[in-house]
Amino acid sequence: MYQVILIQPKNYQHSAKNTMMNVRTLFTITLVVCLGFATFARTQHNEGFGAGVIIGEPTGVTIKHWVSPSNAFDAAVGWSFEGRSSLHVHGDYLFHDFDLIPVDVGHLPVYGGFGARLKVREGHSDRLGVRVPLGIAYHVEEVPLEIFGEIVPILDLAPSSRVSLNAAIGVRYFFQ
């Protein structure tokens, strides 16, 4: 009779649980800090620098810097859970249309742009690709918060060509 013994690293489940706890903790801290600053600061949403969290593909921290009333740079560093867990870094140049969807309170710009993504995968070749983010953001009235959602087609160029799709939601607080 044969006996099958499965050997699993001791900390495998523990480390996955810790990763989720770290993500939740990071999200909670960022949200509390953003809401705290929101009580003291007033700024327009399409100027200055913002920071926050992004959840989905990827999950991590995000920043945005406005370079004009309708154009901005954004970037994120986070975890990618597609396939094997890996580090995801991206940067984009965005064009916003504030008039496409009129709202009574706040602003609801639609945006699109282009950028690059680097995905560092342990034990595999890193991926480098071109991103085309398409999204919508809600700028809360009188509070410098941006809540956004985006879908991002990606064309990986290295180590081989591949098309994929990312999607995420997030929140950013804007500092004056």
116-147 as b/e: b if 16+ CB within 10 A: ebebebeeeeebebebebebebbbeeebbbbe
Mean pLDDT value of segment 47-68: 95
* Residue numbers of the domain that contains 165: 12-175
Total structural domains in the chain?
1
Q: Is residue 3 part of a domain?
A: no
Q: Which pLDDT belongs to residue 39?
A: 36
Residue 5 placed within a domain:
no
pLDDT interval class at 142 (50, 70, 90): confident
Predicted local distance difference test score (pLDDT) of residue 118: 95
Instruction: Please give the radius of gyration of the chain, using alpha carbons only, rounded to the nearest integer.
Output: 19
Q: What is the Cα–Cα distance from 37 to 109, expressed in whole angstroms? A: 23
CATH label of the domain that carries residue 143: 2.40.160.20
Which residue has better confidence, 2 or 121?
121
Name the pLDDT band for 10 (thresholds 50, 70, 90): very low
Residue 149 belongs to some domain of the structure: yes
In the predicted model, is pLDDT for residue 59 greater than 90?
A: yes
**Cβ–Cβ under 8 Å, residues 149 and 158:** no
Extended strands (E) in 9-81: 49-56, 59-66, 71-80
Residue 20 lies in a domain: yes
pLDDT digits over 72-93, tens only? Answer: 999 999 998 877 779 999 999 9
pLDDT in tens, 158-170: 999 999 999 999 9
Which DSSP letter does residue 82 get? S
Residue 7 pLDDT greater than 50, yes or no: no
Higher pLDDT, 124 or 29: 124
DSSP code of 107? B
Report yes or no: 107 and 45 within 8 Å, Cβ to Cβ. yes
